[in-house]
Amino acid sequence: MLTLKYQRLELRLGYHFEDQRQLQLALTHRSHGATNNERLEFLGDSILNFIVGEALFKRFPEAREGQLSRLRSQMVKGDTLAELAREFELGECLVLGEGEMKSGGHTRDSILADSVEAIIGAIYLASGLDICRERVLTWFAPRLDTLSIDTSAKDSKSRLQEYMQAQRQPLPEYVVVAVGGEGHAQMFTIECRVALTKQPTSATASSRREAEKQAAVLMLAQLKID
């Protein structure tokens, strides 16, 4: 069963490990035992920062160091990596200790993000920098394509909150209106409600945080806030 799960994950990653034990190690959290993905995570974090930094350096030749650092931080932060992990449906493949399994570790952002970094480290060790770079840039392409030097460093929820404060209005309210699916496949529907309009916005995602962010994006657009 694990082998089949790994094969499906490899299809989503667009990369095949000749030895599936390399992938299994990358997915093994420290709660499972002494043999875990922490070293691969350390390596993958460094490689990811380099690959994304190099891509931004080439993409924005006029950008200053501070601008490049800010853009890279947006790309490699934990929230972004956790979103990527959910797109890969990585949670169902994690190897966790019993305590982490019971507490829902397969949906925890930090564990998902660390596992993405560990997979990057494993691909680097198995196939070298060129193949690793090609995979990482393919995974990040949709996000890189939306970037500009002027991209706001603040996420949609922060921007909406600051706008409401500037208007001396109550803070936005995020309400769970539906939860569907089971286990790792749960989907959350969130409504964003603000005092400036009677029309809430709603979004559905595999985590409450991501659904809230998407609902905030829709509310920013509805209020015509750039």
Cα distance between residue 186 and residue 100, in whole Å: 18
19 appears as a binding residue in the annotation = no
79 appears as a binding residue in the annotation = no
102, two tokens: 């019971």
Query: With contact defined as beta carbons under 8 Å apart, do 172 and 158 qualify?
Result: no
114 appears as a binding residue in the annotation = yes
Q: Quote the Cα angle for 41-3-122, to 5°.
A: 20
Q: Angle 208-222/78-87 helices, nearest 10 degrees?
A: 100
CA dihedral 39, 23, 112, 82 (to 10 degrees): 110
Residues in the chain: 226
Catalytic, 45? Answer yes
Q: How far is the first Cα of the chain from the last one, in angstroms, to the nearest whole number? A: 48
The catalytically annotated residue of 83, 100, 117, 210 is 117
- The residues, ordered by sequence, that sit 6+ positions from 188 with a Cβ below 8 Å of its Cβ are 176, 178, 179, 204, 205, 206, 207, 208, 211
177, two tokens: 């209106």
Catalytic, 117? Answer yes
**Which parts are annotated binding residues?**
41, 114, 117
**Which parts are annotated binding residues for Mg(2+)?**
41, 114, 117
Task: Name the residues annotated as catalytic.
Answer: 45, 117
